[in-house]
Amino acid sequence: MNEVIFQFNQVNRLVLKDITFTLREEDRLIIFGSSGAGKSTLLHLFNRMDDPDYGEVLFHNKRIEQYDIPQLRRSVGLVLQQPHLFPDTVLDNLKFGPSMFDDWEEGRAERLMNYVNLPIDYINKSVDELSGGEKQRVSLARTLANKPDVLLLDEPTSALDDRNIEAIEEDLIKLIEHNRLTVVMITHSMDQAKRIGTKGLYIEEGQVIEYGDLNQLLENPNTDQLKQFLHKS
Amino acid sequence: MERDIPTYSLLLLIVFVMIPFTIAYIYQLGLKKDIIWSTIRGTLQLFLIGLILTYLFDLPPLVGIPIMLSVMILVATFHARKKGKELPYIFITILVGLIGVEIIVLSMWLGFGMISFTPEEVIPMSGMVIGNSMVAMGLALERLKSEFEQNRGKLLAALSLGATPKHAAHMSIKKTLNASLIPNIDQLKTIGLVQLPGMMTGLILGGVAPIIAIKYQLVISISIFSSVSLSAIFISMVMYRFFFNKQMQLLNLQDIKKNG
Ligand SMILES: Nc1ncnc2c1ncn2[C@@H]1O[C@H](COP(=O)(O)OP(=O)(O)OP(=O)(O)O)[C@@H](O)[C@H]1O
Ligand SMILES: [Mg+2]
């Protein structure tokens, strides 16, 4: 069971210095740290939206460069901070990924809309008609449409209000469990981190300060730096 | 019938130049130097071209025409290149594009006997095609850059969903082409209704029968339309790929040159 999915060995890129950690199948890793710490930069190395300058990233024990890039991005899905929907209907957005790989069947739209808790008749709406929360849901569903094994989330709720955040979080937890997804998520909210995550990676100025069991990190931080960070947030 | 404008009456044109100049002066638009300078420069350029053309038109067509076409294409390339300084291979791409377009229209004109291989016919017709193609390439380049700038988020989204650069850029290219071709399509639609096209005006003033002038105009209008479309499509299709690297990652405009 719980096999190693990702292994980062001494990875350097822009601000990132010697990042080393392992991600296992059942992990839901929360990346946190101050603004500019390098969280997004790190997240983009998981699906090769960016590449390290030095060091290696292993995916299923093979160097990540050995995988076909579109296929890799399909199985390691990224949800951006802003929805960035394509200016078409909701359905067009959902089909965007699958149709490139000839992997779309009729029932899938309904299942996806269900996951993200949107009414099925929304699929023919133009994305301009959606609210901010609805757009973020469609963006999530669009990534899920590719049936990823790993889900990368870059502050998926940062553009939303409290009520929307709670609702999306619940749906997110459900669909993660239902699809047995491995998750890497950036968040500024430690409450959200606790509700979703199992592991924690605390970085500052591009360096890993603490890494391990999330509850452990939050309850018993080892470094003064993390203590202060938690105190502030 | 040979028509000519008396040289002294050309001096009256100064009155016309004085109109915008006066307005600029009254409203302090700060264009004064520009207006004077462009007028002098434009006048000198035209007279100079007139002199050179007289000389080149006397050369055997097989010598004169290639020389004139080369000069026109080079000047147009240097000019259009400014709109894509940030992109690699921009000079050679535009050059190849313009040469290609010129070869296509010239073969069509000569092949179908629409015009004869004399400088009097080939040079002005080619000038119009090359000039319009140059403008179209510049427009397409500017538009392509702004599309990529504005749609960064969507492009990242598309790539992260597994799209190839080609697929991800499809929407931006489509919008670029639409925007660069619309003025041209509009012009074609209203041709003859809103304004008598330049070439027809010239021919009619030169004493050619309107019906013949129309035939020439038809040839040139359609040639311009096709070559403008071709130019915009060519430059967009070649250039979009430089916005990405081999790892299918989106580049910043300032990083493109290093990468290419
Ligand atoms: N393309 C780039 N070129 C140079 N520096 C960059 C580039 N992208 C990001 N940086 C820098 O790298 C650092 C880390 O950026 P990153 O976006 O990863 O931070 P972050 O932790 O995600 O911050 P935030 O919480 O604000 O999103 C920042 O200092 C940023 O200015
Ligand atoms: Mg970030």
Q: What was the pLDDT predicted at A149?
A: 96
Beta bridge partners of A56: A9
As given in the structure block, the two tokens for residue B64 are 């004169």
Q: Is the CB of A38 under 6 A from ligand 1?
A: yes
pLDDT tens digits for range B111-122:
998 899 998 889
CATH number at residue A98: 3.40.50.300
Chain A closest-CA separation from residue B164 CA (Å): 7
Query: What does the pLDDT average to over A46-58?
Result: 97
pLDDT tens digits for range B205-216:
888 888 888 888
pTM of the model: 0.86
Q: Is the CB of A97 under 6 A from ligand 1?
A: no
Distance of alpha carbon A151 from alpha carbon A75, whole angstroms:
8
- Interface check A14 vs B, CB under 8 A: no
For residue B12, name the pLDDT band (cuts at 50, 70, 90). Answer: confident
> C-alpha A84: how far from its chain's center?
15
- One-letter amino acid at A124 equals N
- Interface check A95 vs B, CB under 8 A: no
For residue B1, name the pLDDT band (cuts at 50, 70, 90). Answer: very low
Interchain CB distance below 8 Å, A84 and B154: yes
Single out the residue of B245, B135, B3, B20 nearest to residue A51, CA to CA.
Answer: B245
- Count CB-CB contacts under 10 A for residue B141: 27
User: Which residues make up the environment of ion ligand 2, defined by Cβ < 5 Å?
Assistant: A 40
Cβ-Cβ contacts under 8 Å between A and B: the total is 59
Ligand 1 binding pocket mutation candidate from A11, A12, A15 (most atoms within 8 A of CB)? A15
Q: Is the CB of A13 under 6 A from ligand 1?
A: no
Ligand 1 binding pocket mutation candidate from A30, A32, A39 (most atoms within 8 A of CB)? A39
CA distances from A204 to A31, A194, B145 (A): 11, 20, 35
All residues at 6 or more sequence positions from B130 whose CB lies less than 8 Å from its CB, including other chains: B69, B72, B73, B76, B98, B101, B102
Could you report the predicted ipTM of this complex, rounded to two decimals? 0.95
Distance of alpha carbon B246 from alpha carbon B237, whole angstroms:
16
CA of B89 to the centre of ligand 2 (A): 34
- Structurally, chain A folds into a number of domains equal to 1
Distance of alpha carbon B260 from alpha carbon B243, whole angstroms:
9
All residues at 6 or more sequence positions from B227 whose CB lies less than 8 Å from its CB, including other chains: B101, B104, B105, B129, B132, B133
pLDDT tens digits for range B164-196:
999 999 989 988 988 888 877 777 777 666 656
All residues at 6 or more sequence positions from B250 whose CB lies less than 8 Å from its CB, including other chains: B152, B155, B156, B159, B168, B243, B244
In angstroms and rounded to an integer, the radius of gyration of the C-alpha atoms of chain B is: 22
pLDDT-wise least confident of A188-192, B13-17, B117-121, B236-240: B13-17
Q: What was the pLDDT predicted at A102?
A: 87
Q: What was the pLDDT predicted at A99?
A: 93
Domain that holds residue A160: 4-232
Ligand nearest to the CA of A39: 1
Q: What was the pLDDT predicted at B61?
A: 87
As given in the structure block, the two tokens for residue A115 are 């996951």
Q: DSSP assignment, residue B162?
A: T
Residue B17 or residue B153, greater confidence: B153
Distance of alpha carbon A207 from alpha carbon B233, whole angstroms:
46
Residue with token string 């392509």: B144
Q: Which of B151, B160, B164, B166 to mutate: most A Cβ within 10 Å?
A: B160
pLDDT-wise least confident of A11-20, A169-178, B18-27, B190-199: B190-199
All residues at 6 or more sequence positions from A88 whose CB lies less than 8 Å from its CB, including other chains: A126, A127
Ligand nearest to the CA of A36: 1
Chain B closest-CA separation from residue A79 CA (Å): 8
Residue nearest to atom 18 of ligand 1 (CA): A38
